[in-house]
Amino acid sequence: MPQMSRQDPLIEHHTVDYVPLAERHGKARDLFTLWFSTNIAPLPIVTGAMVAQVFHLNLMWGLLAIILGHLLGGVVIALASAQGPRMGIPQMVQSRGQFGRYGALLIVFFAALIYIGFFISNIVLAGKSIVGIVPSVPVPASILIGALSATAIGVIGYRFIHTLNRIGTWVMGSALLAGFVYIFAHDLPPDFFTRGGFNAAGWLATVSLGVIWQISFSPYTSDYSRYLPADIGITRPFIATYLGATLGTILSFAFGLVAALATPEGTEAMVAVKQATGALGPILMVLFLLNIISHNALNLYGAVLSIITSIQTFASRWTPSIKVRVMLSSVILASCCVVALGASADFIAQFIGLILALLLVLVPWASINLIDFYIIKRGVYDIASIFQADGGVYGRFNLHAIVAYFIGIIVQLPFANTSLYVGPWANLVDGADLSWLVGLVVTCPLYYCLATRKQTQKVRAVKLGYSD
């Protein structure tokens, strides 16, 4: 690894500002290791176990649904990530170019809420993992250890996060493959290949879960690609992100499914992992704990960027220093720890339910973001306007984007099947939340028509001689 120069400090000094071309560094493969390693974690493994335990699919149909869902959803996260080198700014700041300077605030708020929700859930999960490994450590101390470790990584920032995930790719990837080998090298239950079967509802629910999983990362993918050289293009970042995100999640979901089938029916997911992997179990638990902490740094990093983006919306000339980032990280840490220490036994399940419900607001945003970047503006934005107090050429509010966004949310509600709200048509396919599909199908063409309407009117005016 090359030594760091004065221009490439260990602690990141950029926040929501534009990364100058002279300070760009890294390679597209860094995106592969980031998203691959990030997804080798307990949460996707637990979710993969649901394919057998909740949706009652067998191994073959379960794997097919897992692969298809993540391959489809991976297109969204990869397209969002590929925007980073071209723009050189975080994803939420870029939204000003689509929604207007103040119009983007609502999106930033939802993104911050999702980051903080995942941060709290993961520090609770890290605390429980520490207690599981070292029972003598009190739960409050375990939660604080997990939170402080993630905060330290998040404060150091971009470079350190990428470095940890380069290491994690080899360590976690090897550990997971070893777990697969161990399971299949030992006696499997007689019903391992036949438990469950095919049912349309469970299969579609699994596909939808894979798509939603990938889309949930899209609000902050370019945060981790914005330092790459601008001339790296679109294709290489897209491929690296797509392969990393899809392979990592497919392997983790598949591991959860295999562990669930390799243990007696009804065994809790992480208990199933420990039982199915025998002597490897304790090692995997330690590695999973380390990965929870590393992954949680991304949530803190994104939450801080979102809060800074919100403040900077009203103070266009303000550029926060490293001290400000540390202070904001400390405030978020303290607040989240207070919530985590008072969390109920089913807190993680409740919060994950809330986060999945919030995906209703992410699907229309992702639709508008991708249509605007790749089809309407084709990657050409006025960066200076994005940071101007009045929004420059993008204005304070872009009504076309805002109208399309809210309609995109409204059309999903009848089909929503979440812990917070169940729509009247949610059970068209029992157990499958297909609201995301409705959101994509409606928002993409609607925004395109609204955004290009004004351009079409201008062209007609010129042809008729009414243009000044």
Task: State the Cα angle at 317 between 314 and 319, rounded to 5°.
Answer: 100
The CA-based diameter of the chain, rounded to the nearest angstrom, is: 82
| Contact (Cβ atoms closer than 8 angstroms) between residue 70 and residue 328 | no
417: phi then psi, degrees, rounded to nearest 5 = -135, 75
In sequence order, the β-bridge partners of residue 417 are 422
22: phi then psi, degrees, rounded to nearest 5 = -65, -20
Q: How far apart are CA 211 and CA 214, in angstroms?
A: 5
Domains belonging to the chain, first-starting first, are 21-363 (1.10.4160.10)
Q: How far apart are CA 52 and CA 196, in angstroms?
A: 7
pLDDT at 5: 41
Q: Ramachandran region of residue 299, left (φ > 0), alpha (ψ -120 to 50) or beta?
A: alpha
pLDDT at 228: 92
Q: What is the mean pLDDT of each run of 10 residues along the chain (468 residues)?
A: 43 74 88 89 86 93 96 95 92 90 89 82 79 80 80 67 78 91 92 91 88 86 89 94 96 95 88 88 84 78 84 80 77 81 67 70 92 93 91 92 95 85 80 83 95 67 48
Beta carbons within 10 angstroms of residue 148's beta carbon: 13
pLDDT digits (tens, 9 = 90+) for 151-207: 777 666 567 677 777 887 888 889 999 999 999 999 899 999 999 999 988 898 899
pLDDT at 9: 52
pTM of the model: 0.86
One-letter-per-residue 3-state SS of the chain: CCCCCCCCCCCCCCCCCCCCHHHCCCCCHHHHHHHHHHCCCHHHHHHHHHHHHCCCECHHHHHHHHHHHHHHHHHHHHHHHCHHHHHCCCHHHHCHHHHCCCCCHHHHHHHHHHHHHHHHHHHHHHHHHHHHHCCCCCHHHHHHHHHHHHHHHHHHCHHHHHHHHHHHHHHHHHHHHHHHHHHHHCCCCCCCCCCCECCHHHHHHHHHHHHHHHHCCHHHCHHHCCCCCHHHCCHHHHHHHHHHHHHHHHHHHHHHHHHHHCCCCCCCHHHHHHHHCHHHHHHHHHHHHHHHHHHHHHHHHHHHHHHHHHHHHHCCCCCCCHHHHHHHHHHHHHHHHHHHHCCCCCHHHHHHHHHHHHHHHHHHHHHHHHHHHHHHCCCCCCHHHHCCCCCHHHCCCCHHHHHHHHHHHHCCHHHCECCCCECCCCCCCCCCCCHHHHHHHHHHHHHHHHHHHHHHHHHHHHHHCCCC
Q: How far apart are CA 254 and CA 48, in angstroms?
A: 6
pLDDT at 23: 86
Q: How far apart are CA 359 and CA 251, in angstroms?
A: 23
| Contact (Cβ atoms closer than 8 angstroms) between residue 207 and residue 69 | yes
Tokens representing 312 are 């900077």
Exposed / middle / buried, residue 17 (Cβ in 10 Å: 0-12, 13-18, 19+)? middle
pLDDT at 7: 46
